[in-house]
Structure 1
Amino acid sequence: MNKFRDALYRFMYGRNGVDALNWALVILELAVSILSSIIRVQGVSQALYFVSMVLMFTVLIRIFSRNLARRQAENAKFLTWWTPKANAIRGAKARRADKAHKYVRCSCGAYCRVPKNIGKVELTCPKCGKKRVVKT
């Protein structure tokens, strides 16, 4: 087993491998593949299957590519697009789980945390300094 692992390491040396963009493409490919199996319209199902195969081919090309600079640039561009969305999803999940506080969104986009069941509170946004009265 070690010989196979070592041979695989030697083969993958200098290649891109799996990065965040590849994982996103694999998840998208699986979603499209499942959608193509659910849809019963012949033409639409075939088109989705073709898109699924193109995505899988793209993933394989990116994994085995030796053009590391280009693949890293593609991944960095994807991460600049995806990271704010992932952080927003994580933040929203954490805000929903917090039952002891109320979260108020300011006009500047910042979230301000206020303890629940206190009554009316004058809130000052830490980002922009705007003041407003909030009922908790």
Structure 2
Amino acid sequence: MNWLRKFMYGRYGVDALSMTIIIFGFLISIFSPYFRPLSIISTLIFIYAYYRVLSKDINKRYRENQKFLKLIKPVTTRFKKFKTRSEGRKSYKYFKCKNCKQEIKVPKGKGKVRVTCPKCGEKTIKKS
């Protein structure tokens, strides 16, 4: 195991972009028995992914990864919002403000509750 640590010293390593590239290459390789050129494409994708992992140009790989993370941020924040909301569904009820469309979280089982929007101050009565 020590030889691997010595080998990887000064190299970039695995990040979100390289993992995405590897997964994409794996998915393409699943379909390669049905369409021959896909095996060549998946091989090239794997070579590029390992090139990124073993690269010694750490700053360039870091900038590439940051651009990738900035690109997928809207998708990941939407997924996190969905995950958080689905986890809180048992103890909270969610409403949208009629005025500004802000999402408001209200505890369940409290009966009729007067809800004030934190963004615009609109007051409504909702059943929780």
TM range, normalised to the smaller chain? 0.7 to 0.9
Distance 1:48 1:124 in 2: 56
SS in 2 for 1:24: helix
The code of the aligned residue for 2:84 comes to A
TM-score (norm 1): 0.71
Distance 1:83 1:13 in 2: 30
Structure 1 residues 65 and 109 mapped into 2: Cα distance closer, same or farther (>3 Å)? farther
Which residue in 2 is equivalent to 1:113? Answer: 105
**Unaligned ranges ≥5, structure 2:** none
Which residue in 2 is equivalent to 1:79? Answer: 69
Alignment match of 1:18 (pick from 6, 9, 14): 14
Structure 1 residues 110 and 28 mapped into 2: Cα distance closer, same or farther (>3 Å)? farther
Deviation per residue, 1:74-94 (Å, 9 max, x gap): 111112223443233133123
RMSD: 2.7
Alignment match of 2:3 (pick from 7, 20, 23): 7
Q: Check conservation: 1:19, 1:75, Cα contact below 8 A.
A: yes
Distance 2:32 2:101 in 1: 41
Determine whether 1:123 maps to 2:115: yes
1:65 CA drift (Å): 0.9
The code of the aligned residue for 2:15 comes to D
Out of 65-74 and 11-20, give the one that drifted further.
11-20
Structure 1 residues 57 and 112 mapped into 2: Cα distance closer, same or farther (>3 Å)? same
Q: Check conservation: 1:15, 1:66, Cα contact below 8 A.
A: yes
Q: Check conservation: 1:105, 1:112, Cα contact below 8 A.
A: yes
Structure 1 residues 81 and 135 mapped into 2: Cα distance closer, same or farther (>3 Å)? farther
Structure 1 residues 120 and 77 mapped into 2: Cα distance closer, same or farther (>3 Å)? same
TM-score (norm 2): 0.75
Alignment match of 1:33 (pick from 29, 32, 46): 29
Deviation per residue, 1:34-80 (Å, 9 max, x gap): 2x158x4xxxx234333322221111110111111100001111122
Determine whether 1:97 maps to 2:87: yes
Structure 1 residues 31 and 120 mapped into 2: Cα distance closer, same or farther (>3 Å)? farther
Count of aligned pairs between the two proteins = 125
**Unaligned ranges ≥5, structure 1:** none
Q: Check conservation: 1:15, 1:63, Cα contact below 8 A.
A: yes
- Identity score, percent: 34
The code of the aligned residue for 1:91 comes to K
